[in-house]
Structure 1
Amino acid sequence: MRLSALIRLVAIIFTLLATWFFTHTYFKKTGKAISLRDFLGSSSKITSEKHPRNKCDNRKKCLRDFFAFKITSGAANVVGPSICFEDKILMSAVKNNVGRGLNIALVDGTRGILKKHQYFDMFSGDIDTFLTFLKEIPESTLVLIASFDDPGSKLNPEARQLLTDLGSAHAQNISFRDSWVFLGAKGIKGKSPFEEFLKNKPEKNKYDGWPEAVKLEGCVPRKMV
């Protein structure tokens, strides 16, 4: 037998003996057993513990007296919008409760409980029904809105003012096929800090005839009003 082969054989035997000695001593002292899956998965477990999932899959965790939310507008006229509040999907294409126009969820501003949700066709729908809906929103109610396809064609000055009164800074400018997401409240003083708006501009649109979807996430305080 060649000297090099003999050295390799001795090294292998030494490694096996050292491994056996370590595992035998460790398990004898601790009484623990560990599987290969546990060992290989330990790093991912640590990563998961360091970066736990937040409500609505948001990037930041909300403090105790805040509600987590995420609102995503529709993408063109193909992918529907979604509204998440406190880790519950209130409206989405999967739940089959969204539609072309403005999708609105009303949430109790103190308890965080869904009161009502409805979508309004702003292209061919009845604007009077929409006006009645806005006027009947109770005080201290959070209003979450996501656009889909066309949010602005039917909006008249009265409807725009009612949306402005909820805290919107862009309600006066919303028009055909704009992308818009918003969280306001009935009785709010001033403008809401929760709003994203993207104008429909043919030369800049991501899709053929529509701008890209917009997304809004954050933490809204209890008793915003």
Structure 2
Amino acid sequence: MRVSGILRIAALLFTLVATWLFASASFNHISVKSINIRSWLGAERPKPTKVVVLRHKCNNKRECPTNTFAFKLISGAANVVGPSMCFENTMVMSAVKNNIGRGLNLALVNGTTGKLIKAGAFDMYSGDVKDLIEFLKPIDTGTLVLIASYDDAATKMNDEARKMLTELGSSYAFKLGFRDNWIFLGGKGLKNKSPFEQYLKNDKDTNKYDGWPEVLEMEGCVPKKLE
């Protein structure tokens, strides 16, 4: 074998050995992370943070302090959908409970315990206002009164009934007219006008429905001790 051939073989062997040594040294300084098929497909990716939606009493937007009661009142929608009343997370009047009617819907609640005393619906279009008056007369001091209108709440209303409602803290009892919408929370023995009242006049120029104003909705926290 010629000397030149031997030198070429030696050079090739040297190159191979040098390449192997370089590669070996490089891999010793590299941290190789193992990858399994689950992580590669995303099965082990961090799960998105679960959003917890807080549900307050009566599904209200905010929580009520411990010295108050939570409530939500919704008037009727025209003469189609009835009103509803929720008090301390209990539905006291609604279509589902089958205890509402066209006219004025009233619920009496114990102002200390928050327990329902009684509820009733009074037809103010073709009914007798005397039934409403007899319902209001025996109310004890400290009793909370929740009211929601449905369809027409005023046609048969008289001054005696309006005066009794005014004494419960209403600012609109004497203004209530044909098909006006009204929701109210007051009480027997209230010294001032109630802040929990909404009234919307039946006006053909502004009515949302044909012949009726839009639905009224009110939620809040009423103190356990009336003043």
Tell me which interval the TM-score lies in, with the shorter structure as reference length: 0.7 to 0.9
Alpha-carbon distance between aligned partners in 2 of 1:88 and 1:15, rounded to the nearest angstrom: 57
Q: CA deviation at 1:17?
A: 4.6
Which consecutive unaligned segments of at least 5 residues does structure 1 have? 1-12, 22-34
Q: CA deviation at 1:126?
A: 1.1
* Identity fraction in percent: 54
Q: CA deviation at 1:112?
A: 0.3
Kindly tell me: are residues 94 and 20 of structure 1, through their superposed partners in 2, closer, same or farther at Cα, counting changes over 3 Å? closer
Alpha-carbon distance between aligned partners in 2 of 1:19 and 1:210, rounded to the nearest angstrom: 61
Q: Could you say which residue in structure 1 is the equivalent of 2:212?
A: 210
Q: CA deviation at 1:16?
A: 2.8
Q: Could you say which residue in structure 2 is the equivalent of 1:28?
A: none
| 2:35 is aligned with 1:16 | yes
Which of 14, 27, 43 is the matching residue for 2:49? 43
Alpha-carbon distance between aligned partners in 2 of 1:153 and 1:199, rounded to the nearest angstrom: 14
Alignment of 1:153-192 (within 5 A): 153-192=155-194
Computed over aligned residues only, the root mean square deviation of the Cα atoms, in angstroms, reads 2.4
The structure whose Rg is larger is: 2
Q: Could you say which residue in structure 1 is the equivalent of 2:26?
A: none
Alpha-carbon distance between aligned partners in 2 of 1:15 and 1:180, rounded to the nearest angstrom: 69
Secondary structure of 1:142's counterpart equals strand
Kindly tell me: are residues 182 and 43 of structure 1, through their superposed partners in 2, closer, same or farther at Cα, counting changes over 3 Å? same
Number of residues of Structure 1 aligned to a counterpart in Structure 2? 195
Secondary structure of 2:49's counterpart equals helix
Alpha-carbon distance between aligned partners in 2 of 1:120 and 1:211, rounded to the nearest angstrom: 20
1:51-80: CA deviation from partner (whole Å, max 9, x where unpaired): 411100111110011100000000000000
Which consecutive unaligned segments of at least 5 residues does structure 2 have? 1-31
Match of 1:161, as an amino acid? K
- Given that 2:189 and 2:226 are in contact with CA atoms closer than 8 Å, whether structure 1 keeps it comes out as no
Q: Could you say which residue in structure 1 is the equivalent of 2:141?
A: 139
| Runs of 4+ with >2 A deviation | 13-21
TM-score of the aligned structures, taking structure 2 as reference length: 0.80
Match of 1:198, as an amino acid? L
Which of 101, 104, 108 is the matching residue for 1:102? 104
Q: Could you say which residue in structure 2 is the equivalent of 1:130?
A: 132
TM-score of the aligned structures, taking structure 1 as reference length: 0.81
Alpha-carbon distance between aligned partners in 2 of 1:210 and 1:20, rounded to the nearest angstrom: 61
Alpha-carbon distance between aligned partners in 2 of 1:62 and 1:108, rounded to the nearest angstrom: 18
Secondary structure of 1:118's counterpart equals strand
| Structure with the largest fraction of helix | 1
